[in-house]
Amino acid sequence: MGIKLGGIDMPHGLCLAPMAGYTDRAMRLVCRGYGVEHSVTEMVSAKAVVYGDRKTFALAKILPDEGPVSVQIFGSEPEIMAEAAHILTNTMESMPPVAIDINMGCPVNKIFGNGEGSALMKNPELIERITRAVSSAISIPTTVKIRAGINKSSINAIECALAAEEGGASLICIHGRTREQMYGGLADREIIKNVKSTLHIPLIANGDIVDGASALTMLRDTGADGIAVGRGAVGNPFIFSEILCALDGREFTPPSLAQRVEVALLQLRTAVEDKGERIAIPEARKQIALYLRAFHGAARIRAEINRATAYTEVEAALRSALSED
């Protein structure tokens, strides 16, 4: 266990998985505070980078206080992917990424239908060409995110992972579900284990990691070099502290309601600073409400947050939970 990615040491291989609409700087920052060793941005369109889209560059922006962060790109044309990777590593005004991650696992219809994301797993030869083009265009590592396969009758994660390795990938992350499963069912750890046994580069395991116990069993069952937590970290950055405690054999003390409220507000303030209230408040609602999961008054507070249009209104709703606790 433990990974080196370029010049970055990840002693526990503990990563925040990329999630569109979630892993903005605000989420990455709070997760860093609880033990994340490496984060990946929301995926950005390679074509949009090449065409100079300002919103895309905002998604890819990294600041020094976040720690090591990779930028994830998606697309299907090797030349465009390579040019986007070069732009993101050489011309960004913000902190440069520690790696370029290639999305070959996104299952959503819009991406898949364009032949991007997990659709690339239909063509391992194209996976090799894209990875080779990107890795040849940049001086930092190239990493790749895949799934188990397209569906249960086309499980080809090993073939795709080997193609990415042959193309120059420094690390593979695999989500143990097929594209057909989307986010339902269970991640197949046997597939992850089989991929790990064939590679000569580090493997990160992803899927169904929701607490310290599931992190330990994922590592034990797959032999992976590290883990990436996705949905389990939404509204719950404390999961990384819990995982570190489990890895070290220490007891984990769950956060109090007051702690959860303060971290939720920190995440929201950071998002507002980056994007302004008009954008940040609606985007953050789904995450902020989850900080209050299992709290008996959560339904009322969620309703208030959903109506809020200003930071002060969200803050008042969250702090009202403390008076009911």
Provide the whole-model pTM: 0.94
Tell me the per-residue pLDDT of 68-124, one tens digit each, with 9 for 90 and over: 999 999 999 999 999 999 999 987 777 889 999 999 999 999 999 999 999 999 999
Q: What is residue 232's predicted lDDT score, i.e. its pLDDT?
A: 96
How many CB atoms neighbour CB 72 within 10 A?
26
CB 6 within 8 A of CB 141: yes
- Which two tokens mark 313? 């209104």
Cα–Cα distance between 170 and 160 in angstroms, integer? 14
Q: Which residue is listed with tokens 């570190």?
A: 244
Instruction: Name the average pLDDT for the chain.
Output: 94
Closest C-alpha to 162, from 176, 144, 178: 144
Closest C-alpha to 102, from 6, 184, 167: 167
Average the pLDDT over 155-180 and give the result. 97
- Which two tokens mark 292? 């209050």
Q: Which of these ranges, 67-76, 125-134, 286-295, has the smallest mean pLDDT?
A: 286-295
What pairs with residue 9 in β-bridges? 4
Q: Which residue is listed with tokens 């143990």?
A: 176
106 is catalytic: yes
Question: Active site residue: 15, 31, 106, 173, which one?
Answer: 106
CB 282 within 8 A of CB 314: no
Closest C-alpha to 270, from 256, 287, 255: 287
Confidence of residue 170 (pLDDT cuts 50, 70, 90): very high
pLDDT at position 56 over 90? yes
Half-sphere exposure of 6 (CA within 13 A, CB side): 17
DSSP 8-state code for residue 8: E
Cα–Cα distance between 313 and 83 in angstroms, integer? 43
The share of the chain scoring above pLDDT 70, in percent, equals 99
How many CB atoms neighbour CB 19 within 10 A?
17
Sequence length of the chain is 325
Cα–Cα distance between 165 and 255 in angstroms, integer? 40
CB 312 within 8 A of CB 277: no
**Quick one: CA dihedral 80, 84, 90, 93, positive or negative?**
positive
pLDDT at position 323 over 80? no
Instruction: Give the CA distances from residue 167 to residues 125, 160, 198, 217, in Å, rounded to whole numbers and listed in that order.
Output: 10, 11, 15, 31
pLDDT at position 294 over 90? no
What pairs with residue 100 in β-bridges? 71, 142
Confidence of residue 67 (pLDDT cuts 50, 70, 90): confident
Tell me the per-residue pLDDT of 2-22, one tens digit each, with 9 for 90 and over: 798 888 899 999 999 999 999
Cα–Cα distance between 202 and 172 in angstroms, integer? 7
Cα–Cα distance between 293 and 311 in angstroms, integer? 20
How many CB atoms neighbour CB 105 within 10 A?
28
- Which two tokens mark 241? 């502290």
- Which two tokens mark 177? 């579900």
- Which two tokens mark 320? 């009202």
In terms of CATH, what superfamily is 3-248?
Aldolase class I (3.20.20.70)
pLDDT at position 1 over 70? no
Residue spans of the domains in the chain: they are 3-248, 257-324
